Structure 1
């Protein structure tokens, strides 16, 4: 009988991290999905023919609701008796790993995708760091999505346990046959002309992604450089963190094309000349490897999770965190050195294909989980 393998995330929007990989895991495990009720929980349960358990979990700290979620997870684990609990995202990880410990689940994996406390100050930061330490303590294994995350866990004294990295990092790798510019037709829009140099952004429209710095740098560049555009793809979050002035600029600047969230981002990537991600914190820059696979060099922050993906001056450019001036200068440089950008395109795709192809990531992941099961069951 295959050992039961439970994958838990706070919200169902995080479950697509495991698209495709579930078919590989199913060969050796009986896989189940747990998250707050949501579209992706239902869709992935049906698509991959795996059990799904909707348990409401709050992303923010809410003591009474968190206790309720904890007890529901505890009851679920006591009933289903999984051999391995694979916890992802901060809140689900704390609740699930603790519930797994109390219900004596032998293998308890905390997969660290990012460290939310890095962009928080004051007492909340202390509390979030404490939560991370607790999750790591209750886990049998801690897996980091990148070397940068591993180094931060160690330097911040979050855990003294041996931290695993699967392959070169990345939770799910990338399908380079899908993210292939030769198989995609770029978007057509009256705002984008063949002579335009297009900067692009894909992601959540929040302050932590460096969107304010990007728009400010682009506005400054627009005053001196002609035929440049900024293409923005993504959705606003409920807890609005961007200033009203930035949002107004996003909608009103004629050189900014905001297209909202898109199910297929590839045609929008293909319209870009350079991708820009001036993020404050990033567990692993999955969007950077998507851009690279589409032969798009990137300008991104020199932080953990980004500087492992991008090689400075070869597949893109690294900039200082929260530095509008540095971002502006790099954006100005790429507009003035278009030939160098063309040379970087092949480098970007080659690096992604060599390090992050899905077949390799999935194989390494399954081998890691089988070894964990062997060590604990």
Structure 2
């Protein structure tokens, strides 16, 4: 059986972003998962039933550590002789594609699920642009996970069109539509969670799910909701997700508002987001940049209308006024107006619900995405 090596920078990406996919692919390939060490890598080995291997990689610019990772991957590839190396996440892509090329791996695929460099400026931007082009040169195929991202790559001339392919309708892993189903959360669980968070039946509940960082639009979201909450006492904002203050800190005034506004409920990272989604009315996701946002898939699949920024991925899942609202990026006033609209017009919000789950099931079901990726693998020779 031919070998397929999948690589992410940190093990939580291998566990979460590709959940179930490695087990599916192991019916057709000998699959090996590679990332930095951690409990999540142990979970991947158990849950996906695949072999795993540790290579430590960083998420920042660290030349000596990066060269060490390249050397370790090169040795591993020479020993394993994979048919395909498929990388995800920026650093894994750069070191993985270089090592795979040096080791003579015939098929080197890199999935693009967002471009952090789009928010960089000056010399840092020039450096990141150069690294991106270098990564693409080392790869034999580049898989942007949205059509908008594919266009951005072409506009920046990072690679030639013939190297690019979007799988299916977009997304790196699709969505488990049977798991993300609001009907699975019992009334008892919802009632208990509402009590715990001091949410009343009259409240319109907005939810954000993701990393609590600047790039996800949290500064604007919190400022918008703070203004909104002064005018509307019956509304809440739930923030679900981890902090990454060392990588992308929030403004001090944002931190102060999260702390002082009793209608903002920070609940941190949650292993199961479904109860929180089930007690919410609207997903708010004003991110600056994405590849193909799983959170919007998950929220829509659980019948939430979504307020999203007008960026690739988000504007491919959401159609304005049909299953949500699309607003300008980095605009607190636009976020507030969209949230106020959702409060003022419950009947329009209700009408959007009819177009949420059905669209996701039709276009982004996990099994469909997996089979399309498999077709891509099987087309290689």
| TM-score (norm: length of structure 2) | 0.96
Match of 1:195 in 2: 202
Match of 1:181 in 2: 182
Shift of 1:190: 4.6
Which secondary structure state, in structure 1, belongs to the residue aligned with residue 244 of structure 2? coil
Q: 1:190–1:22: structure 2 CA closer, same or farther, 3 Å change rule?
A: closer
Match status 1:306 vs 2:305: no
Shift of 1:161: 3.9
**RMSD over aligned Cα, in angstroms?**
1.0
**CA distance in structure 1 between the partners assigned to 2:57 and 2:197 by the alignment:** 43
Question: Which moved further from structure 2: 103-112 or 10-19?
Answer: 10-19
Measured against aligned partners, the alpha-carbon deviations of 1:168-192 in whole angstroms (never above 9, x if no partner) come to 0111111111111111133332520
Q: How do 1:120-199 and structure 2 match up within 5 A? A: 120-162=120-162, 163-185=164-186, 186=190, 187-188=193-194, 189-199=196-206
Which secondary structure state, in structure 2, belongs to the residue aligned with residue 223 of structure 1? helix
Match of 1:32 in 2: 32
Contact 1:114–1:283 (Cα < 8 Å) also in 2: yes
Question: Which moved further from structure 2: 199-208 or 244-253?
Answer: 244-253
Match of 1:6 in 2: 5
Match status 1:49 vs 2:42: no
Which secondary structure state, in structure 2, belongs to the residue aligned with residue 308 of structure 1? helix
Contact 1:296–1:345 (Cα < 8 Å) also in 2: yes
| TM-score (norm: length of structure 1) | 0.97
Which secondary structure state, in structure 2, belongs to the residue aligned with residue 44 of structure 1? helix
Contact 1:24–1:366 (Cα < 8 Å) also in 2: no
Runs (4 or more) in structure 1 with deviation over 3 Å come to none
Contact 2:23–2:50 (Cα < 8 Å) also in 1: no
Match of 2:102 in 1: 102
**CA distance in structure 1 between the partners assigned to 2:62 and 2:229 by the alignment:** 44
- Number of equivalences: 372
Shift of 1:46: 2.1
**CA distance in structure 1 between the partners assigned to 2:197 and 2:51 by the alignment:** 46
Runs of at least 5 residues in structure 2 that lack an aligned partner in the other structure:
none
Shift of 1:244: 1.9
Contact 2:85–2:107 (Cα < 8 Å) also in 1: yes
Match of 2:352 in 1: 344
Contact 1:87–1:96 (Cα < 8 Å) also in 2: yes
**CA distance in structure 2 between the partners assigned to 1:238 and 1:251 by the alignment:** 15
Match of 1:360 in 2: 368
Contact 1:191–1:255 (Cα < 8 Å) also in 2: no
